[in-house]
Amino acid sequence: MTGALLRLAWRNLWYNPGRTLIAMAAIGLGYAMLMFVACLMAGLRQQMIESGTGLLLSDIEVHAPDYYPDRPIQQTLGGRNGTDVNALLATIATAPGVQAASPRAYAYGLVSAAHQSVGAQLLGIVPAQERKTTVLQTRMVKGGYLTGQMPNGVVMGDELATALGVDVGSEIVLLTPAADGSTGNDVYTVVGLFHTGLDAMDRALVLMPLTSLQHLLRLSPARIHEVAIKLRDITTATTTAASLKASLSKTLPVRVMPWQELAPELADYVQFNRRVTFILFFIFFLLVAMGIINTMLMAIIQRTRELGMLMAVGMRPVQVVGLIVAEAASLAGASLVLGAALGSPLLWYLQVHGLNLGHKGGGVSLAGVLVGPLWYGRQDFTAYAQAALGLAVTALAAALYPALRAARFRPAEALRKV
Amino acid sequence: MAGVLLLVKIGWRNLWRNPRGTLLTALALGMGLTLLLISLGLLDGSQEQMIGNAVRFGTGHVVIQAQGYQQSGSQELLLPAPVMSAAEAFLHTDAMKHVVRGVSPRLLASGLLSSAANADGVDIMGVIPIEERTVSLIPQRIVEGSYLSDDQQSGIVIGTELARKLAVKIGGKLVLTSQMVQLPDTEAADTGGGEMQSTLLRVSGIFRTGVQAIDAHIIQMPLPEAQTLLGVPDRITEVAVLLEREGDSLMVAQDLRKQLTGTPVEILTWREAMPTLAQLVSLDEAFNYVMNGVVLAMVGLAIFNTILMRVLERRYEFGLCSALGLRPGQLAVMVIGESLALTTISLGLGLVLGLSAQHYFATSGLDLRWFFKSSLPTALVFDPIIYARLSVTRIASSVGIVFLTAIVISLYPALRAARTELPGALRVF
Amino acid sequence: MGWQTARITICVGLVWLSLGQVCQAADDQRAQEIVDRVARLFASKSSIATVEMQIVKQDLKRTISMQFWSLGESKILVRIRQPPEDAGTAILKVGDKTWLYLPKANRTVDMPASMMMTSWMGSHFTLDDLVGQSRLTHDYVISASFAGYRDGVAVSEYTLTPKPAAAVVWGKIALEVRQADLMPVWQRYYDEDGKLVRELSFSDYKYVSGRLIPTHLVMRPLDQVGEQTTITYENLVFDAPISEDMFSLKNLKQ
């Protein structure tokens, strides 16, 4: 019975191809636009996350349990005795989903030039490995990045250099409490300046070779504070972090933090963005509801005679309701297909070529991250599915009013209508 | 000419031959406008809110500082007393009362905060509690104890992170140590410039903003105490001004500049004082641009659908008119007349609905938590409730755009109606 | 009792009370003097000392040997002799300005004045502890809280309560002093909840330049088990002539 009803419904749609096509075009295009926005926004969120984590945070960080957020220099991975750094890196690098891992040490100290001393964060890295995890090396504005060659070379933010009155080639002194309680100090040469557009980094960050910082801090080479991890797919951050914790904890007490814990403000904005996009869905559903009610009402008024005849030959009111609802459902379904077909090339284009917002969205720093003027889209199948589902539900609900009205036709009267 | 008028009258009456149908169509069209207004209102409102919240953690919409302070951040660059009073007097005049929401003079410096357990470097904000409440968000984020009060002279509010590090509770003792400021325009030699001073403070409240940098480093204390500590009894670093509408920022800044010409001050809008926020906002504007464009397109499609359908319906009727002798041109005029009338009714309906919805959202707001019951752990930086805001310009342009769209869209069917082929149109069913 | 008797009784009573108050005042006065003496134990026109500081912390043990000069209360010069990696490091404090000389870098660095309140060279003492003792009588209300024998030695204990507006973090400080020679035995620092936070012990009393001083000081933080810093004064000389030039930046670099 339902099968026949559906076939009837489908055929009914095409008796008035003009009206049906217009409605399909409107709903279909609307759906395509929703997909477009969802795709664009997903791409924006992705870009923001990658920008936010790509410079320094990385996708996941591994620390000793009591290390974060105070970062006491004594809390190295593996405690006072440290750990086999190479083995640890190897284990992490071969874990599923991990693209690269790099070791780091941190300290907070005084950077002193001829007439000025400024407090800054000192970060010790292994340049060759760090390149694979983060992208700070792409932000150099003067001089060069760290190399293996100069153990006493450092790289700092351009604003820090200005505050100190130094430039590439200048000598500076780094002063920091060492692990043995003494005051670690040594002379270093500035080999490069970077500019990220982020205050926290440009004003207060100094990068140096890991071994140099360990030496300054009187830490043995087995002692590092953190392993930074880059994933193949950043959306797996939380799950990969959990599995890493499980596997590493067997031999080493660790705390594994995905970027959401490291940059909660960024995670917040991403959520917020998603929610605002939802408002758009809501508007679309409302418009579709109105459209369907309108279309179907007009349809049944036009088909009063036909419906009257159907009821006269025995179609029950329930079946009439079913018919109208089925028509609406078919309309919605067809529109969805049309919309998806129209939208897909657009989505593909967005993902591959991006949308250039030029003057409006150029080189912006957002919630602590940088987003460029070119927005790439990213497929958000969940959103597409949610929109489609919502559309279907809306169509069905909207069709109820006209359907119920049709069901209340009295065959005798209906037949007499012109 | 009289013919046109008659045609239009006929067009009007055509509408009312099927009152329910017409009203339904008007509603459908009107909804388009309503939704456009709602979406614009919410997006504008959410942006304004974002800016509002962000500037409330910083320097307000407009800030008055000593010249060069923005660039160097040097503690020694302070506002002279006469500037302070002139600025405050101006901002409290009747003319400004409806524009300005709050004015807060502040003294900013850095120092060392010690407790029995620990010590840490902090950023000091000397404020007048009752005025700071009108500008900053910190007074509203108190989680333990209470904010500073005017009569309590040695209170201090610190963030949760700092409280944890110093292992201190409400009422606990803290000693703040700082270097006295060397004022450049006085005899530096013997004013005790550079001398260290300490003062005793007791924790009156602990706040949590969710922003690590604030919770771990910022402290607020009564302005007079801060001035004494730093040896600058009648100076402040900045006057932060919070406005009712972000849109007035430029105007207020200009007015202040006029009031204070000749004095060594800088008056900055939030875009200049907080450039990272300005960038974030332009990105958000771009985002809103896209969203609005899409809503408009969707509304356009809805209008398209509604009108086109209506016209297609009436091929029979148009055919009849043609058969009765109406010329194509006249038919077109009649259809256009109908469209105009219908559009006007729709817009009227849409406007009424839209403005009422707008009023509701402007007062009660849209609570996003309704949609997402799951994780909102730090609903601290981003307010989950959006309040809508619509300017008259926005309303006017929305109405204008929908009107034009409706008219333009109805032109096509009008022309097609005019060219209805007789035999086909008269076909019933 | 007649009116007359009552009056006399009242008068006598008042006299007793005031006498008692006077006695109390005299006691407090004495307490004040004694505590002041303790605070000024190391104060002098000038001093030269060789100091050995041993730091024991959870993860490290370090012994620093330094040469210490002071002139009045506002000029201090410290030069580190041992261990070799820190040898040659020097700190100069003149008034509220502090400089640090680093031999490895051959640089002099400006130190922020608030360094006074932070841990000195990684130890449990702050610079303020070492040179700021003279503010005890200024910031605290002193009262005698015990007098008697402890461990066979006649001692007096004084309780120092911070004055309402005094810029100190402590809830109270307790000081035990030997009655015989007024030498401090220990100084205990409590927070406002009455919890003992740190204890400074004095011992090894010797005569230096005519006065008796403790030459062995131990500071123990009570929340870190097993940690302490010990300061031993060797070769301490008071009031020897020191030239002002000693306390100059130029001299610092030497």
Q: What is the mean pLDDT of residues A61-66?
A: 92
Q: For residue A408, what are the domain limits? A: 2-52+266-416
Q: Is residue A219 part of a domain?
A: yes
pLDDT at position A362, please? 46
d(CA B329, CA C51): 111
- Please indicate whether, in this complex, the C-beta atoms of A268 and B381 are within 8 angstroms of each other: yes
- Among candidates A75, A121, A77, A81, which has minimal Cα distance to A220? A81
Chains with 3+ CB–CB pairs under 8 A to C are A, B
Q: Is residue C141 part of a domain?
A: yes
Is the distance from CB of A173 to CB of A187 less than 8 angstroms? Answer: yes
The answer on A369 and A299 residing in a single domain is: yes
Q: Is residue C217 part of a domain?
A: yes
- Please indicate whether, in this complex, the C-beta atoms of B298 and A283 are within 8 angstroms of each other: yes
The answer on A290 and A343 residing in a single domain is: yes
Q: Which range, A56-70, B61-75, C114-128, is most confident? A: A56-70
Q: Is residue A407 part of a domain?
A: yes
- Please indicate whether, in this complex, the C-beta atoms of C107 and A179 are within 8 angstroms of each other: no
The answer on A100 and A178 residing in a single domain is: yes
Q: Is residue A260 part of a domain?
A: no
pLDDT at position C157, please? 92
Q: Give the pLDDT confidence of C237-251 residue by residue, as tens digits.
A: 888 888 888 888 887
Q: What is the mean pLDDT of residues A106-128?
A: 88
Number of domains in chain C: 1
Q: Is residue C5 part of a domain?
A: no
The answer on A15 and A105 residing in a single domain is: no
Helices A264-302, B19-56: crossing angle, 10 deg rounding: 170
- Please indicate whether, in this complex, the C-beta atoms of B195 and C96 are within 8 angstroms of each other: yes
| E strand segments, B115-228 | 119-127, 142-145, 155-159, 173-179, 196-207, 218-222
d(CA B255, CA C160): 57
For residue B190, pLDDT over 70 is answered with no
- Please indicate whether, in this complex, the C-beta atoms of B114 and C96 are within 8 angstroms of each other: no
Query: Facing residues of A155 across strands?
Result: A192, A207
Q: Is residue C163 part of a domain?
A: yes
pLDDT at position B188, please? 45
- For chain C, the average pLDDT equals 83
User: What 3-state DSSP class applies to A206?
Assistant: strand
The answer on A162 and A309 residing in a single domain is: no
pLDDT at position A211, please? 93
- Among candidates B227, B249, B271, B244, which has minimal Cα distance to B108? B227
The answer on A152 and A131 residing in a single domain is: yes
User: Looking at A203, A222, A253, which one is the last position of a domain?
Assistant: A253
Displacement of CA B388 from its chain's centroid (Å): 9
pLDDT at position B426, please? 61
Q: What is the mean pLDDT of residues A282-297?
A: 81
pLDDT at position B274, please? 81
Q: What is the mean pLDDT of residues C139-153?
A: 88
Model confidence at A313, in pLDDT bands (50, 70, 90)? Answer: confident
The answer on A294 and A246 residing in a single domain is: no
Q: How far apart are the first and last CA of chain A?
A: 30
Q: Which range, A217-221, A279-283, A322-326, B65-69, is most confident? A: A217-221
Q: Is residue C6 part of a domain?
A: no
- For chain B, the average pLDDT equals 81
B229: closest chain C residue by CA: C167
The answer on A247 and A147 residing in a single domain is: yes
pLDDT at position B380, please? 47
Q: In the A/B pair of chains, how many CB contacts fall below 8 A?
A: 140
The answer on A232 and A119 residing in a single domain is: yes
Q: How far apart are the first and last CA of chain B?
A: 36
Number of domains in chain A: 2
Cβ-Cβ contacts under 8 Å for C129 (sequence gap 6 or more): C120, C200, C219
For residue A189, pLDDT over 90 is answered with yes
pLDDT at position C242, please? 86
Q: What is the mean pLDDT of residues B285-301?
A: 79
User: Looking at A197, A230, A253, which one is the last position of a domain?
Assistant: A253
pLDDT at position C86, please? 83
d(CA B338, CA B328): 15
Query: Facing residues of B32 across strands?
Result: none
The answer on A99 and A205 residing in a single domain is: yes
Q: What is the mean pLDDT of residues A54-77?
A: 88
What does the CA dihedral A326, A330, A335, A337 come to, rounded to 10 degrees?
140
Q: Give the pLDDT confidence of B107-157 residue by residue, as tens digits.
A: 999 888 999 888 888 999 999 999 999 999 999 899 999 999 877 778 999
Q: Is residue A259 part of a domain?
A: no
The answer on A229 and A200 residing in a single domain is: yes
pLDDT at position B421, please? 60
Measured between beta carbons, which residues in chain A are less than 8 angstroms from residue C122? 177, 181-183
The minimum CA-CA distance between A31 and chain B, rounded to whole Å, is 9
- Identify which has the larger pLDDT, B390 or A64: A64
Displacement of CA B298 from its chain's centroid (Å): 25
pLDDT at position C9, please? 60
Q: Give the pLDDT confidence of B220-253 residue by residue, as tens digits.
A: 999 999 999 998 888 899 999 999 888 889 999 9
The minimum CA-CA distance between C57 and chain A, rounded to whole Å, is 9
pLDDT at position B243, please? 92
Is the distance from CB of B204 to CB of B148 less than 8 angstroms? Answer: yes
Q: Is residue C207 part of a domain?
A: yes
For residue A417, pLDDT over 80 is answered with no
pLDDT at position B381, please? 52
Q: Give the pLDDT confidence of C168-188 residue by residue, as tens digits.
A: 889 999 999 998 888 999 999
What b/e readout covers C74-112, taking b as 16+ CB neighbours within 10 angstroms? ebbbbbbbeeeebebbbbbbbebbbebbbeebebbbebb
pLDDT at position B375, please? 47
pTM: 0.78
Q: Give the pLDDT confidence of A21-45 residue by residue, as tens digits.
A: 888 888 888 888 888 888 888 887 8
Is A185 an 8 Å CB contact of chain C? yes
pLDDT at position B376, please? 45
Q: For residue C183, what are the domain limits? A: 39-66+120-238
Measured between beta carbons, which residues in chain A are less than 8 angstroms from residue C113? none
For residue C96, pLDDT over 60 is answered with yes
Measured between beta carbons, which residues in chain A are less than 8 angstroms from residue B19? none
Is the distance from CB of B282 to CB of A361 less than 8 angstroms? Answer: yes
Q: What is the mean pLDDT of residues C92-109?
A: 83
The answer on A142 and A13 residing in a single domain is: no
- Please indicate whether, in this complex, the C-beta atoms of C114 and B111 are within 8 angstroms of each other: yes
Q: Is residue C103 part of a domain?
A: no
Q: Is residue C246 part of a domain?
A: no
Measured between beta carbons, which residues in chain B are less than 8 angstroms from residue C97? 194
For residue A360, pLDDT over 60 is answered with no
